[in-house]
Amino acid sequence: MSRNYKFKNPEGVYFVSFAVVEWIDVFTRTEYKNIILDSLRYCQKSKGMEIFAWCIMTNHVHLVFRSVEDQKPELLLGDFKRFTSKAVIKAISDNLKESRKEWLLEQFAKAGANASNVNKYQFWRHDNKPIELWSNKVIDEKIDYLHNNPVEEGLVFKPEEYVYSSARDYSGEEGVLEGVMVMKQLPHTMRLDSFTCKDTCCSSCYFESVDA
């Protein structure tokens, strides 16, 4: 990973993007997207991941998050990627309706053969390109980019029409992932603890909340 892309602040809020090897369109099937979604839920509830924004595209994932339980963010993200890698590959292997099964597994095996730290299959590319969100401008840019990705790809006309992202939460509706920490407009003196939590029962809402 380049020096310009490192998790330098363990308590920071980060924008990360990670893609399937060779940018293969795996998440065209709902069942594979749901594996990512369920894994995000697990990380929220059990691993101290606070999620501010997210989007699952056909071949990559965007995420704005921070780690709040003394685990380094790179380790938290690494655990997430390792688990989802195995889970998606297993789902592909077990899916009788997957017409591309042999080709997909062959591509993952080729990628794994070229990686020294992979036993058999490699699903995710190793790069995450973490960018710490340290200003209003950077926050707005990254969250807008994340939510507009499906629009730019021609999947929907409006960001909130795309189910597999947090755009609905930011438009005042309920998204499919509970407990998303919605960033509000921050003052000039930045406060990264200012957000609206869409889940009033979220146990990690110990920062200043905002009236919806």
Write the pLDDT tens digit of every residue in 83-135. 999 999 999 999 999 999 999 999 999 999 987 777 799 999 998 889 999 88
CA–CA dist 167, 193 (Å, integer): 20
Q: How confident is the model at residue 172 (pLDDT cuts 50, 70, 90)?
A: very high
CA–CA dist 142, 82 (Å, integer): 25
**If you search the block for the tokens 């077990």, which residue do you land on?**
94
pLDDT at residue 190 above 60? Answer: no
Choose the weakest-confidence range: 13-17, 66-70, 76-80, 107-111. 66-70
CA–CA dist 205, 208 (Å, integer): 8
- Residues 169-182, mean pLDDT to the nearest whole number: 95
Q: Under a CB-based contact definition with an 8 Å cutoff, are residues 16 and 6 in contact?
A: no
Choose the weakest-confidence range: 133-142, 157-166, 202-211. 202-211
**If you search the block for the tokens 């990690």, which residue do you land on?**
204
Q: Under a CB-based contact definition with an 8 Å cutoff, are residues 76 and 193 in contact?
A: no
**pTM, to two decimals:** 0.84
Q: Which residue from 132, 129, 108 is spatially nearest to 120, judged by alpha carbons?
A: 108
- Residues 176-185, mean pLDDT to the nearest whole number: 87
Q: What are the counts of helices (DSSP H) followed by strands (DSSP E) for the chain?
A: 5, 6
Give the pLDDT confidence score for residue 48 in this predicted structure: 96
CA–CA dist 186, 139 (Å, integer): 10
pLDDT at residue 1 above 90? Answer: no
